[in-house]
Amino acid sequence: MAHPTKKDLAYDFIKRRILEKRLLPGQRITASQIAEEIGTSVLPVREALLSLEAERLVSITPYVGAVVAWVSHDEVLEVISLLAVLEGYGTSQAAGRSKQLPRQLATINQKLRAAMQQEMWSWFIDLNREFHFAIFEASGNGVLLENIRVFWSQLDTMLASTSFHLVPNRAEEDLREHDELIRLLSEPQPDPLAIELVARAHRMRTAAYLERQAQPVV
């Protein structure tokens, strides 16, 4: 395994501080200060900031510097809407490709229920990801899988850096929707269109839930 570069170290350091809310939206990020804290030159820090800007975590103004970006309500909903399309298609493409998939998903969903009952939300989040990516991997479409992975990671990051909260609020509803997906995928002749619509609706209910939240972003 390759050792992390200085840019990687700077990237991880800054991103972790943003996600832990030790750096807040609008707060300036001083490259020289970060460089001193992690024991490197300014150049890797600047490179890391450019990567974080591409992820919409940082905003850079020429001759002014970098600040932690504000994540707008609309930006979060745009990513969710895009994921709904990609995930719906990916789930439909998994239909009928693996006889083992429904059983695998049912096992993961049982663990999700246990995590919910024990209020082990970090475990719940990990299992939820495992559930969905088992489906996407079964689709056999590597390009689609990679794009979903990128946007899933981006959404996780955006939600972590905002005031939105999904777990535990939507947990029980999530599991019922998972049960419906498992049922559709278990049919002798799965209907790809029905599966796609249910998978899209599953993701878009996240958007609907966020719309109802009393504490909006920014």
163-180 pLDDT, tens digit per residue, is 555 556 788 999 999 999
**Residue 28 shares a structural domain with residue 51:** yes
**22 lies in some domain:** yes
CB 200 within 8 A of CB 85: yes
**Residue 124 shares a structural domain with residue 166:** yes
By residue count, the chain amounts to 218
pLDDT at 163: 54
93 vs 136: CA distance, rounded Å: 8
**31 lies in some domain:** yes
Q: Which residues on adjacent β-strands are paired with residue 28?
A: 67
**1 lies in some domain:** no
pLDDT at 143: 97
- The parent domain of residue 15 ranges over 6-68
CA nearest neighbour of 199 among 38, 33, 58, 87? 87
Spans of the chain, pLDDT less than 50: 214-218
Q: Which of 18, 36, 68 is the last residue of a domain?
A: 68
pLDDT at 207: 84
Q: Which residues on adjacent β-strands are paired with residue 60?
A: 66
